[in-house]
Amino acid sequence: MSQLDEKINQHFAGLVVRKDLVKAVKGNAIVPSYVLEYLLGQYCATNDESTIQTGIETVKEILRKHYVHRNEAGLVRSIIKEKGRHKVIDRVSVSLNDKDDVYEAEFANLGIRKVLIDSSTVKAHQKLLVGGVWCIADLEYDYTEDKSSSPWVLASLKPIQISRFDFDGYLEARKQFTTDEWIDLLIQSIGFNPQMFGKRNKLLQLIRLIPFCERNYNLIELGPKGTGKSHVYSEFSPHGILISGGEVTVPKLFVHNGTGKLGLVGYWDVVAFDEFAGKQKRVDKALVDIMKNYMANKSFSRGVETLGAEASMVFVGNTDHTVPYMLKHSDLFDPLPEKFHDSAFLDRLHSYIPGWEVDVIRGEMFSTGYGFVVDYLAEILRSLRSHDFSDRYKGLFTLSDEISTRDRDGINKTFSGLMKILFPHGEATESEVEDLLRCAIEGRKRVKDQLLRIDTTYPAVRFTYKGTDGVERLISTLEESEYPNQYHRRVASEVSELDPFDLANAASKSADSDAVCPPLVHSAVSVSKEPELKPQHLVVQENQRGVTFDKLFGPYLKGAKRIIVIDPYLRMFHQLRNLMELMETISKQLASGEEVAVHVVTVEDEFNGDRQTESLQKIAEACAGVGIQLTWVYDTTGTKHDRDITTDRGWKIVLGRGLDIFQRFELNDAFSFANRLQQHRQCKEFSATFIRVEDAGE
């Protein structure tokens, strides 16, 4: 186990499970992860390998004997009849038979209905009345001549969810973890390997959890297929329900006027709408109107009485076009049905997760480490709904007076949710609080900026805040930095000649600047085709695209005869590939008939030095054919931590991360644009400083 896994088991013994075990036991059982982890938590909540293996076999046996597959329902019914009593795992829903004044249960996979269930059980587990709950149930078979009675008898029923937890113990255990360790624990609890994600990507994953711990939180995520947008809402918690966007009706969601039966928002903490996008979808205008009222006021009325509810609303859907296309031709809400593409509805959204930043889920991204049994974490998050952390930044930071009340509500609720998830014990440093506040502001700004496109009656807003030093700090969204021409469509003619990469860095600097920053689009008017070389400091944000070695280094390497590259981390395949791509950039700057000498200083791989040497030799051989004389040396002093590129033209480029600036992508996929073209890759957060060096040629 890793040090983090050992620490997790030390402080949360019996409440965590190895996440790869879920796949090991699931087989072809179509059950949510929290059901499987409930069982694994009973038998495998340990770090003892022999106990884990025994527990896996026990869970598999339980699923084999008691989980009801639809295609084996007849066999299970026969077993119950012949044995007289049998335990089953199935999704159970309950309805009231008002003619006979009894509650009747229906077993989804088993295919039996009208099973009598006592009122006390229904009162204790009211979600049985709406949508159904996964349960472990003992069923008996008792046939009678009475045609009106069902032979199926429910002997016992237990919803699959944790029965109790120690909240104070949870807070005390949280104090034993650093912020980075805690974030990684939460990412592992969701089921992902934290090493595959940068900090921004981890926060995007955790924002998906806010609806579970924040009442009446309205969240939207639109992005490409396969990024796991709906996974959390279908698999993570027994307190959330995921429904198809096309299946939503006013009675199902709110209240049935005929029966007075309360809808989903009255029973579930989170109601998530899957496949919410689709311009051609038919939508009931009455549904949109009542949703607008509920999302704004936490209440709804259908003409009889006004009712309140606490359910958070989540909308997830797929995008059909790229971000620059949507920004150029419409807006980032473009995929939504026409009746939901309404400014009054969209203004109720507290945050917008940019789904296009979330990588498509690959097998290597799943965790093999330990994380919370998701049902335990779901109960913790549910208990946090009664807490309010929205004011935790106010002693340190102040939002701009330009920001409206509705914008503030969105920012405050997102900030509160992130604080509950990351700092439930309330202990966060000023910089940590600021990071969460910036994230919250960006999520609401993404909503508001698109509203300005849809409805011109909305006033423009500068999303800024001040610290205790009184300095105003401007927030920009990442897509604003990447695609300024399209993002600021109202003034596109003024910036049509601007290079997106130049503006991206201008935005990055403005976001982190200590000075009051003007709107990005007014930062320049034109850029010459032959860029002016000047000392500068560039900051590239995590997930930013459009960055290439050609743009970043090319102009500063042009005309050089000698180049020195110092990077101690040129060991693994992707790092050596980065070096090869730098050589490609250098080759593009060579005039016909010219040559350049490149000297590389790195550190030998302690475990795979032979392979590293072989790779460097192959790169040198390839370079020789294009006019690059590549030499290299292994630094043996053990003190080299520099990462820079120096040329005999008088320039030194100091690299915060060396050449390793891109996030992981599928290196073996020949049909991936990210594999073939750097501009399609997402970046890690990094900085580059360009310095004029005196007497560099000596």
Q: At residue 139, does pLDDT exceed 90?
A: yes
All CATH 3.30.870.30 domain ranges of the chain, comma separated, are 549-692
Contact 544, 584 (CB under 8 A): no
Length of the chain as a residue count: 698
Residue found by looking up tokens 């006033």 in the block = 459
Decide: 96 and 114 in contact? Cβ < 8 Å: no
Average pLDDT over the chain reads 88
CA distance between the termini of the chain: 52
Does residue 428 have a pLDDT over 80? yes
Please state, in angstroms and rounded to a whole number, the distance separating the CA atoms of residues 238 and 125.
12
Q: Which of the listed CATH numbers 3.40.1160.10, 3.40.1350.10, 3.40.50.300, 3.90.1200.10 matches domain 166-383? A: 3.40.50.300
SS3 (DSSP) at 261: coil
pLDDT digits (tens, 9 = 90+) for 175-201: 999 999 999 999 999 999 999 999 999
Q: What is the DSSP letter of 276?
A: -
- The model's confidence at residue 311, banded by pLDDT at 50, 70 and 90, is very high
Place of tokens 């000297």: 599
- Whether the CB-CB separation of 429 and 437 falls below 8 Å is answered with no
The whole-angstrom separation of Cα 486 and Cα 449 is 12
Instruction: Please compute Rg for the chain using Cα positions.
Output: 29
pLDDT value for 529:
55
**Residues in contact with 349: Cβ distance below 8 Å, sequence separation at least 6, in sequence order:** 218, 219, 220, 295, 315, 410, 447
* pLDDT classification of 694: cutoffs 50, 70, 90: low
Please state the rounded mean pLDDT for residues 338-357. 96
pLDDT tens by residue, 240-297: 999 986 678 898 899 887 777 888 999 999 999 999 998 888 888 999 999 999 999 9
In the DSSP assignment, the letter for residue 98 is: T
- Most confident segment among 31-35, 41-45, 135-139: 135-139
Say what the pLDDT of residue 640 is: 65
Q: Where are the alpha helices (DSSP H) in 112-161?
A: 119-124
Res 523: pLDDT: 33
- Determine which of 143-147, 151-155, 198-202, 517-521 has the lowest per-residue pLDDT on average: 517-521
pTM (2 decimals)?
A: 0.84
Whether the per-residue pLDDT at 638 is higher than 70: the answer is no
pLDDT at 530 exceeding the cut of 80? no
Beta strands in 479-616 (DSSP E): 536-540, 562-566, 596-602
The token pair that represents 507 in the structure block: 């935005």
What is the Cα–Cα distance from 594 to 626, expressed in whole angstroms? 10
Q: Is the pLDDT of residue 507 over 60?
A: no
pLDDT in tens, 48-72: 888 889 999 999 999 889 999 888 9
Query: Average pLDDT for residues 16-26, to the nearest whole number?
Result: 87
Count of CB atoms within 10 A of residue 57's CB?
12
- Cα angle for residues 691, 693, 696 (degrees, 5° grid): 140
Greatest CA span in the chain, whole angstroms? 106
CATH 2.40.50 domain span(s) along the chain: 70-159
**Is pLDDT of 695 > 80?**
no
Element (H, E) at 60: helix 49-66
Top-tier CATH class for 70-159: mainly beta
Query: How many other C-beta atoms lie within 10 A of the C-beta of residue 226?
Result: 12
d(CA 541, CA 201): 11
User: Is residue 270 within a helix (H) or strand (E), and if so which, with residue range?
Assistant: strand 270-274
Look at residue 580 in the predicted model and tell me its pLDDT.
97
Distances (CA, A) of 618 to 146, 576, 601, 612, 668: 85, 11, 16, 10, 19
| 319 neighbors 375 (Cβ within 8 angstroms) | no
Domain spanning 549-692, CATH architecture: 2-Layer Sandwich (3.30)
d(CA 423, CA 182): 9
